A and B are shown apart, each in its own frame.
Chain A
Amino acid sequence: MKSIIQIKNFNFFYGESQALHDVTLDFNENQISALIGPSGCGKTTLLRCINRMNDLIDDTRSEGNITIHEKNIYLAEVDPVEVRRKVGMVFQKPNPFPKTIWDNIVWGAKINGYTGNLEELVESTLTRTALWDEVKDKLHTNALFLSGGQQQRLCIARAIAIKPDVILMDEPTSALDPVATARIESLITELKKRYSIVIVTHNMQQAGRISDCTSFLLNGVVVEHGRTKEIFLNPKEKKTEEYISGEFG
């Protein structure tokens, strides 16, 4: 198992308030890593640090480093835009562009300098996200007319169309019903063959079902990190056990 993302002694601040404390974590290639923890513990913050999305928020700063493929993405000479081309993101609320389905997929690829066959790209990404059969006859209608679950699969398709190494997902199913959730989960499991995935979830069953390893955060601190099975069956920390069994959070 090869490690792809290493987070080392990472601190993160919104203005004066510190949201992440000395986080050290390792995520492996072609695995699904889950981030769990109660609301406000810093899961989203950590996720957004992995593609330097937090650079877009005013008055934030970080200490420590995160390496992806042995490259420190927090060096001064690193361009955050380039980082985001390698590390894609899927958000909590489906947010397709108010453009056609086709344009949603093609736009990101184009700005990333994709010069191949666009039809092939659209068909293959939509097929891999299990959306092709549902939308192949309406590629040129506005993506906002799709259902929530379809929109979220389109957002995943859009993210993989730029061929990232890593995909970050922030509670990708929290706005969806159980059926749509199941589809997305099987899609995510399918995607790990090609991508490394870090997923934030509030749903313990989901973390248990799909992830290979799990990190439990509390108040910006990593309490426990390990193989999902072990974390769920034999947590070493009392806090972890309490959280997983639903005693707080």
Chain B
Amino acid sequence: MADSTTNFSQKQASLEKKTRIGESLIHVVLFACALCSIFTTVGIVVILASQSALFFADPQVTLLGFFTSFEWQPSIGKFGILPLLNATLLTSFIAVVFATPFAILVAIFLSEFTKPRIKAIIKPILEVLAGIPSVVYGYFAVGTVTPVLQRVFGSDTVEFYNTASAGIVIGILILPILITMIDDSLTSVPNNLREASFGLGATRLQTSFGVVIPGSFSGIAAAFILGFSRAIGETMIVALAAGAGSALTWNPFRGAETMTGYIVRISGGDISYNSIDYNSIFAIGLVLFLATLGLNIISRRIVKKYQWNV
């Protein structure tokens, strides 16, 4: 009897909380890391917002004018973001339109036509492609793509700095991420749909285009949007290839400075702190930040909402 009582109390003791120093330490370190990344993000937003506020506080600038006027000439006090925004949208649009069809084809090849073993070889190669510094792509645009465009369309039509060249090369830059995203979404199409299609006497190609692609339309749309958001933020390529100096044009063979291109040029130049030019890059940065954030959220929403429930 007494024996069993001791036994019981011993067991109870073993249920008590213990302090595990290693565990707690790791907990604290990890929490600190998480806090760091949150603080960094908050810091970026705060600086973007406060410097932008300085910019908008300047009497030469109005919020309405910033978003609606057609000229960006800081030297003569004209601050309309539209030419820069237009150039950004133009290069990004060229990039996704150029890259998406190609990415879809590669993704179909990877997900529907290759054995897993071969796919395991090709995918890392794509990841290497994604690791090339974008300045290299920039020189590729200036040194290769632009001359080719000039040869094909004539050097009278194609200016040396032009948005087409930058757009195409941004397209190449975002290819790996597009391919990966589209491949993921094709792969997630349930196999029983493929079997249904093969069972009706469809070929692999018919199955890919008739069943798998329509079945992952949302994933492709999400990839398109995310690719667009990446393209908007791309900097080195446009800085090198799209030209300096804002221009409001839809002609892809003319030069036009993008938002990121302008930011690079100003921040790299010898403009003094707290000048209006300097502050303007924060306002533009804020617009970029909000645009990419919005697009990323939309893209994630689409992926989540239309996921296959298997």
Interface residues of A (CB under 8 A from B): 51, 53, 56, 58, 81-82, 84-85, 88-89, 91, 93, 95-99, 107-108, 111-112, 155, 158-159, 162
Q: Tell me whether A111 and B202 are in contact (CB under 8 A).
A: yes
**CB of A57 to closest CB in B, whole Å:** 10
CB neighbours of A107 from chain B (8 A): 200, 210
Q: How far is the CA of A194 from the CA of B237 in the complex (A)?
A: 65
Interface residues of B (CB under 8 A from A): 115, 190, 192-193, 195-203, 206, 210-211, 214-215
Residue of A nearest to B189 (CB): A98
Q: Tell me whether A158 and B192 are in contact (CB under 8 A).
A: no
CB neighbours of B202 from chain A (8 A): 81, 108, 111
| Extra pairs beyond A56-B195, A91-B199, A98-B214 (19, CB < 8 Å) | A53-B199, A56-B198, A81-B203, A84-B201, A88-B199, A89-B195, A95-B193, A95-B196, A96-B196, A97-B193, A97-B196, A97-B211, A98-B215, A108-B200, A108-B201, A111-B200, A111-B201, A162-B200, A162-B201
Tell me the interface secondary structure of chain B in the complex: helix
Q: Tell me whether A111 and B199 are in contact (CB under 8 A).
A: no
Closest 6 CB pairs of A and B: A85-B201, A108-B200, A89-B199, A95-B192, A84-B201, A95-B196
CB neighbours of A81 from chain B (8 A): 201-203
Q: Determine which of A53, A99, A111 lies in contact with B206 in the assembled complex, contact meaning CB atoms within 8 Å.
A: A111
Q: Tell me whether A51 and B199 are in contact (CB under 8 A).
A: yes
Q: Tell me whether B198 and A53 are in contact (CB under 8 A).
A: yes
Q: How far is the CA of A165 from the CA of B211 in the complex (A)?
A: 24
CB pairs A–B below 8 angstroms (24 shown)? A53-B198, A53-B199, A56-B195, A58-B115, A81-B203, A84-B201, A85-B200, A88-B199, A91-B199, A95-B193, A95-B196, A96-B196, A97-B193, A97-B196, A97-B197, A97-B214, A98-B214, A111-B202, A111-B203, A111-B206, A112-B200, A158-B200, A159-B200, A162-B200
